[in-house]
Chain A
Amino acid sequence: MSSLKQLQDLIQEKYKIDPATLDPNASMLEQGVDSLALAEFLFDIEDHFGIEFPDARADINSLAGLAQVIDEIKASKAA
């Protein structure tokens, strides 16, 4: 399963947000996700994927952008 699909499943499961209503390429903050909820979601992502987000990427808040960071981290772990 792609990282993006897993993120969409995670956000649906946790916040009951239908992935179809959230543009993966747009900022989640600009789509009504509160900054505190986003911080909590990032923590859950780390748990789910077993990764740690680098502080330098903390500004990313679109689902597609997060999926890309996750894929990069996974790739660097695998290498």
Chain B
Amino acid sequence: MAAITGIGVVSPHGDSHEAMFAALMRGESAIHKFTSDLPNAKPAAVASAAFEASEWFTPLQLAGVDRVSQFAVAAAARAMIDAGAAGMYEPARIGIYVGCGMGGGSSLEAGYTSGLRSGRVPPLTIPAFMPNAPASHIAMRLKATGPVLTYSVACASSAVALGEAAKAIRCGEVDMAIAGGSEALLVPGVVKAWQAMQTLSVFEPGRAASSCRPFAADRSGFALGEGAAFVVLESPERARARGARRYAELTGWGLSCDATHLTKPDAGGQQAAIRNALAVAGLEARDIGYCNAHGTATRIGDVVESEALNGAWGADIDRLRVSSTKSMHGHLLGAAGALEAVITVLALEKRQLPPNACCETPEPACRLNLVRETGAAAPDLNAAISSSFAFGGTNAVLVFQRA
């Protein structure tokens, strides 16, 4: 297990994880309209992150640093500041574990656009878009010289990163891990590609904020989000010894692959990841009080996830409160697992459950005890899970317990 001693975010709900959680508890959606000037562009609903790069980089330092790496540096540095852990460990004993689905999408798109227009591609296109750039920029900023790794597992990327970091802490490979994810794909070509796949929510003028409706009868897909979330992990003993604040402990991690279809989810595979995570934590399903669901609000995805949870919880399913906060912050893809892990950790710490927003009429086929109210208190909450299910079939589930 690993103690979570620091949190940092760049989120659609702002730069403070406390303010973000408070906004989520009030049920506030950060989703809004996105338009582009591409031919035949249709508006989409997205959740963007307000970000001021100059707070973290000089203009000279920004050369070849994509927005995805800027987010990563800011969120990871915030987590380190929050942990008060600077200088506590040897650089070689610090590891960086980053989930990122697609790397620097805006740099790649700008490079191709420039190449098509003028035949000239900016010379830093490659270092800017390579998916492991965010991890490397964090390592340089925080002077971490241990394992610096990137996990690109689509929507499970950063949940996998947190799990792998916790393993490295447990086996003593590193003394401190900075783990999380970053994604910044709100660029015209990428949005259009997601629209082409028919997975994004239907855009309705004036209703952008409520366009992502997980587990609702009238759901129509997800809204793309951008941002980064990082946590600092240490062994509970070390964290206690240095008197660090412990938000919660990451006690279980479970991985599985459906091995059935590239994009179609599979309840059996998801259930296997849940069971694996519970087994590592040494818990039974009924010990878990809250699930921050993957809940992408696609027609098929939510029903399959409900089936997986019902399979794992059986008769105890009503004891499990469930919400998909993607209804408010959108789908951060490679950063989703980390952001939702942070929300789960804060839910445990505060014993409050963020709502499954925008769900006026629940989908009858999803038999789940959804958190439909805002400001829900959970005085007995001791353990929670966060689920992330990826295109490619990889499923990642994390178990957190109160410190």
- A residues engaging B (CB < 8 A)? 14-17, 32-34, 36-37, 39-43, 46-47
Whether A34 lies near B123 (C-beta < 8 A) is: no
CA distance A46 to B122 in the complex (A): 11
Chain B contact residues, majority secondary structure: loop
Asked if residues B60 and A15 are in contact (CB atoms below 8 Å), the reply is: yes
Residues in A neighbouring B120, C-beta threshold 8 A: 43, 46-47
Residue in B58, B59, B123 whose beta carbon sits within 8 Å of that of A39 in the complex:
B123
For the complex formed, measure the closest distance between the CB of A23 and the CB atoms of chain B, giving whole angstroms.
16
Minimum Cβ distance to chain B for residue A13 (Å):
9
Q: What residues on A are CB-neighbors of B123 within 8 Å?
A: 39-40, 42-43
Please give the number of chain B residues whose Cβ is less than 8 angstroms from any Cβ of chain A in the complex: 11
Contacts of A36 in B (CB 8 A): 63-64, 124, 127
Please name all residues of chain A whose beta carbon is closer than 8 Å to the beta carbon of B61 when the two chains form the complex. 34
Q: Determine if B60 and A39 form an interchain contact, defined as CB atoms under 8 angstroms apart.
A: no
Contact A40 B59 (CB under 8 A): no
Q: Which of A16, A42, A46 is close to B58, meaning CB atoms less than 8 Å apart?
A: A16
Residues from chain B with Cβ under 8 Å of A47 in the complex: 120
Cα of A77 to Cα of B58 in the assembled complex, Å: 36
The distance in angstroms between the C-alpha atoms of A32 and B59, with both chains bound, is: 13
Given that A36-B64, A40-B64 are known contacts, is A15 also in contact with B59, CB under 8 Å in the complex? Answer: yes
Cβ–Cβ < 8 Å partners of A14 in chain B: 59
Residue of B nearest to A36 (CB): B64
Report B117-132 CB contacts with A as 1/0, cut-off 8 Å. Answer: 0001011100100000
Q: Please, how many angstroms separate the alpha-carbon atoms of A16 and B53 in the complex?
A: 14
Residue of A nearest to B118 (CB): A47
Per the bound structure, the CA–CA distance linking A17 and B253 in Å amounts to: 48
Residues of A within 8 A of B127 (CB): 36
Cα distance A41–B122 in the bound complex, in angstroms: 10
Which residues in B have their C-beta under 8 angstroms from that of A43?
120, 122-123
Q: A34-B60, A37-B63, A43-B120 known; 9 other A-B pairs, CB under 8 Å?
A: A15-B58, A16-B58, A33-B60, A36-B63, A40-B64, A40-B123, A43-B122, A46-B120, A47-B120
Residues of B213-248 at the interface with A, using a CB-CB cut-off of 8 Å, are none
Q: How far is the CB of A11 from chain B (nearest CB, A)?
A: 9
Whole-angstrom CA separation of A17 from B58 in the bound complex: 10
Most buried by A among B63, B120, B123, B127: B63
Task: Tell whether, in the assembled complex, residue A17 and residue B122 are in contact, meaning their CB atoms are under 8 Å apart.
Answer: no
Bound CA–CA A39/B146 (angstroms): 29
Q: How far is the CA of A37 from the CA of B60 in the complex (A)?
A: 7
List 6 A-B pairs, minimum CB-CB distance, nearest first.
Answer: A37-B63, A39-B123, A15-B59, A40-B63, A15-B60, A36-B64
Q: In the complex, what residue of chain B is closest to A40 when comparing beta carbons?
A: B63
Closest Cβ of chain A: how far from B259's Cβ, in Å? 41
Q: When the two chains form their complex, are residues B59 and A16 in contact, meaning their CB atoms are under 8 A apart? A: yes
18 residue pairs A–B, Cβ–Cβ below 8 Å: A14-B59, A15-B58, A15-B60, A16-B58, A16-B60, A17-B60, A32-B60, A34-B60, A34-B63, A36-B63, A36-B64, A36-B127, A40-B63, A40-B64, A40-B122, A40-B123, A40-B124, A47-B120
